[in-house]
Structure 1
Amino acid sequence: MIRFAGLMLSLYAATCLSGVASAADCTSPVAASDLIKPGTLVMSTNPTLPPLQYVDKSGALVGMRIELGTEIAKRLCLAPEFIKIEFDAMVPGLKGGRWDMIDTGIFFTPERAKLMQMIPYEMQAISISVQPDAKVAISKVEDLEGKTVGVEIGGFEETKAKAIDAELKKNGGHGMTIRTFDSFALAYQALRAGQVEAVVSIDGVAKEYADRGAFKRAVAGLYPTPVALALKSKPLADAVLKVLDAMQHDGSYKTLFDRYGVVPPSGALAVQGPAS
């Protein structure tokens, strides 16, 4: 259930000086009628996925996708503004006109592309994290049989966890106990506290926690799937696509992805969504 009351964590206006200068010094190709706020690209993000999107110790919103969203706004001559919100409010908020773009790496599915404009721009896969001193070895999804597993609610990871559970039961097992959390940060806290035995998350997040030495990435690279930027407006989606194409051409796209170890999809990028 979408819990808008109390769900909004905060409004973070992440407007960098270069973005302000660009918005003032050039004319945006995006019509004001295709934006929530004139002169501004309003983006939603759930900042619980280090190093892709998170709040650092100083309270600043940082990460690969934040940098990408800021650069897109700059090249569109718009001021970037980020709204920090939990994942399960993302799509309803986009459809309700609360923001222009979902900048959280929402997993692409044909069903979602019927609801909004999507630009698959990144590949992500699933990892299984355990405590560093976990006594039970997990090296494949079948080893999750009988385990209590944590996952962030409402996303691709929860869908895949349920699919694994169904497959285990289909093969004669009892399946898993799946516990959902409002964020991956809470899921990993539960793992640290021993309330769950594993966490199913995206590779980037699991790697970040493993690099810190906090948890061990037992399995990685499961179900590689494209993730996307999502937009309500087709003209805005087309304009964002042109920016991404330009970033690929000038090398800044690859530079950003390489710095964070993120894999781009093969082939040309494209907008996929309703005709209007």
Structure 2
Amino acid sequence: MKPTLGAAVLAAAFLAVAGPVAAQTCTPAISDKHLVEPGKLMLSINPTNPPQQFVDEKGELQGLNVELAAEIAKRLCIQIELVRMDFPAMIPAMNAGRIDGLNTGMFWNEERSKLMYTVPYSQQSISVAVLPDSDVQMAGDQDLLGKSSAVEVNSYQMAWLKKFSDAAAAEGKSAVEVRSFPTASNVVAALRARQVDNAVLVDSVARDLVGRGQVKEVLSGLGKTRATLAFRDKAVADAIVTALNDMRKDGSYDALFQKFSLTPLAQDEPLEIAGPGPAQ
């Protein structure tokens, strides 16, 4: 469905910081000609993956990506508006000029880096979770074969799982029965309803659920890669890179990841645009 401005959620912290700043006290680092809407940077988010991004009991956006956006807004002297939508709609919405970019913990890959300007900013991997009362144990990814796995549709973890399953089937082994769902919340709901044998999740999501006693993690560290921000305009991506490197220099970048128990890029990994970006 086409997202509308009515679907947009304005994070109060952004307005509190970016509104007055953008009004008179500093000059925005991104000019209007690079933005979908004058004076604001519109980024999509799918708040179903705590602690990266989620909605609290008051209905407010929370998480690392939300606070990262607020800090970037302050440093770039620009209002950031987070537009809530499911992941499959994000890239089409950006290509249609309805948003400026994605701020949803998307996994980086080469194909995506040719569609938009990608800025990797964290490390992530894939975990396999089962119900807390399950006696299932897994020694490695081969233990997924012949089982049914719930996974978020059009996600990195789904692509990894299907590639792994297809390779096993080509060798004459049992494939994975891959069942896809719109969001991570739906994936967990399917597991809790015992519709599948396991759930294949982003590691940070799995560990948040483990902490709340909702699942048990039986495999981790699969498909290690980088999570990335993504933008339709290079000038926007360049400004974000500058803000992230300033955060790394003053320690606020690492401090934010420590707060949410997530993994930043290593110090020897540059915060920069990765890949060629869209063909001109």
TM class by smaller structure: over 0.9
| Inter-CA distance 43–5: structure 2 relative to 1 (3 Å threshold) | closer
- For 1:269, the equivalent position in structure 2 comes to 271
| Inter-CA distance 261–75: structure 2 relative to 1 (3 Å threshold) | same
1:12 pairs with 2:9: yes
- For 2:85, the equivalent position in structure 1 comes to 85
- Distance in 1, matches of 2:5 and 2:142, equals 37
Code of the residue aligned with 1:268 in structure 2: it is P
**Per-residue CA distance 1:155-212 (angstroms, 9 max, x = gap):** 1010011022123323432211111000010110010010011011111000000010
Code of the residue aligned with 1:36 in structure 2: it is V
**Is the 8 Å Cα contact of residues 2 and 93 (structure 2) preserved in structure 1?**
no
**Is the 8 Å Cα contact of residues 34 and 235 (structure 1) preserved in structure 2?**
yes
1:109 pairs with 2:109: yes
- Distance in 2, matches of 1:7 and 1:143, equals 43
Percent of counterpart pairs with the same letter? Answer: 37
Q: CA deviation at 1:265?
A: 2.1
- Distance in 2, matches of 1:120 and 1:9, equals 29
- For 1:258, the equivalent position in structure 2 comes to 258
Q: CA deviation at 1:21?
A: 2.2
- Distance in 2, matches of 1:97 and 1:87, equals 16
| Inter-CA distance 234–129: structure 2 relative to 1 (3 Å threshold) | same
Give unpaired runs (5+ residues) of structure 2. Answer: none
2:164 partner SS: helix
Code of the residue aligned with 1:11 in structure 2: it is A
**Is the 8 Å Cα contact of residues 150 and 179 (structure 2) preserved in structure 1?**
yes
- For 2:216, the equivalent position in structure 1 comes to 216
**Is the 8 Å Cα contact of residues 127 and 206 (structure 1) preserved in structure 2?**
yes
Stretch moving more, 55-64 or 265-274: 265-274
**Is the 8 Å Cα contact of residues 117 and 232 (structure 1) preserved in structure 2?**
yes
What is the TM-score of this pair, normalised by structure 1? 0.94
- Distance in 2, matches of 1:202 and 1:187, equals 11
- Distance in 2, matches of 1:139 and 1:66, equals 35
**Per-residue CA distance 1:61-120 (angstroms, 9 max, x = gap):** 110011101211221111121110000011111111111120011111111111110101
Q: CA deviation at 1:123?
A: 0.7
- For 1:21, the equivalent position in structure 2 comes to 20
Instruction: After TM superposition, list the pairs within 5 Å mapping 1:64-143 onto structure 2.
Output: 64-143=64-143
- Distance in 1, matches of 2:187 and 2:3, equals 19
- Distance in 2, matches of 1:20 and 1:42, equals 14
| Inter-CA distance 9–56: structure 2 relative to 1 (3 Å threshold) | farther
Instruction: After TM superposition, list the pairs within 5 Å mapping 1:147-166 onto structure 2.
Output: 147-166=147-166
1:172 pairs with 2:172: yes
**Is the 8 Å Cα contact of residues 114 and 279 (structure 2) preserved in structure 1?**
no
Number of equivalences: 273
| Inter-CA distance 115–185: structure 2 relative to 1 (3 Å threshold) | same
Code of the residue aligned with 2:107 in structure 1: it is F
Give unpaired runs (5+ residues) of structure 1. Answer: none
- Distance in 1, matches of 2:135 and 2:58, equals 36
**Is the 8 Å Cα contact of residues 131 and 191 (structure 1) preserved in structure 2?**
yes
Q: CA RMSD in A?
A: 1.7
**Is the 8 Å Cα contact of residues 150 and 180 (structure 1) preserved in structure 2?**
yes
Instruction: After TM superposition, list the pairs within 5 Å mapping 1:30-49 onto structure 2.
Output: 30-49=30-49
**Is the 8 Å Cα contact of residues 9 and 85 (structure 1) preserved in structure 2?**
no
- For 1:52, the equivalent position in structure 2 comes to 52
- For 1:200, the equivalent position in structure 2 comes to 200
